[in-house]
């Protein structure tokens, strides 16, 4: 079993940057994919960005060009650099690791973007 712990959330002004981190208790290099999702109040959880074990990345259209997902295998940590944040991106940001047939989720970190 893998435990994921997100950190780095907080309050940021619209247009500002923020980086959130996801630390894994196990090796992230053995995960098929590591991803970031978010869930705003009253809305469904949605995919933000994903990175494969080979380093390929994919982004939701609404963050492409502003967000960057990256990984540090030595630290077993995945990052999400978020730039030009918008108030409507206020949400709990979750990390997910997909290991074969198993998916693991973190507890989430709150990101609040003030206007």
Residue 70 pLDDT: 97
Residue 22 pLDDT class (50, 70, 90 cuts): very high
If you search the block for the tokens 């712990």, which residue do you land on? Answer: 5
The pLDDT tens digits for 26-69 are 899 999 999 999 999 999 999 999 999 999 999 999 999 999 99
Residue 39 pLDDT: 98
The pLDDT tens digits for 68-83 are 999 999 999 999 999 9
Spatial separation of the C-alpha atoms in residues 13 and 85, rounded to whole Å? 8
Spatial separation of the C-alpha atoms in residues 105 and 95, rounded to whole Å? 6
C-alpha distances (whole Å) from 12 to each of 19, 30, 49, 52 are 11, 33, 20, 29
For residues 90-97, average pLDDT: 98
Spatial separation of the C-alpha atoms in residues 115 and 102, rounded to whole Å? 38
């Amino acid at each position: 079993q893998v435990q994921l712990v997100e950190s780095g959330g907080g309050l940021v002004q619209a247009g500002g940057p923020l980086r959130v981190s996801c630390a894994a208790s196990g090796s992230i290099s053995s995960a098929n994919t590591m991803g970031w999702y978010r869930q705003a109040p009253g809305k469904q959880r949605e995919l933000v960005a994903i990175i494969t074990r080979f380093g390929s990345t994919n982004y939701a259209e609404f963050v492409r060009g502003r967000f960057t997902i990256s990984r540090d295998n030595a630290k077993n940590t995945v990052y999400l650099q978020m730039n030009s944040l918008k108030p409507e991106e206020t949400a709990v940001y979750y990390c997910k690791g997909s290991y074969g047939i198993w998916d693991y989720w973190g507890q989430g970190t709150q990101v609040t973007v003030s206007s």
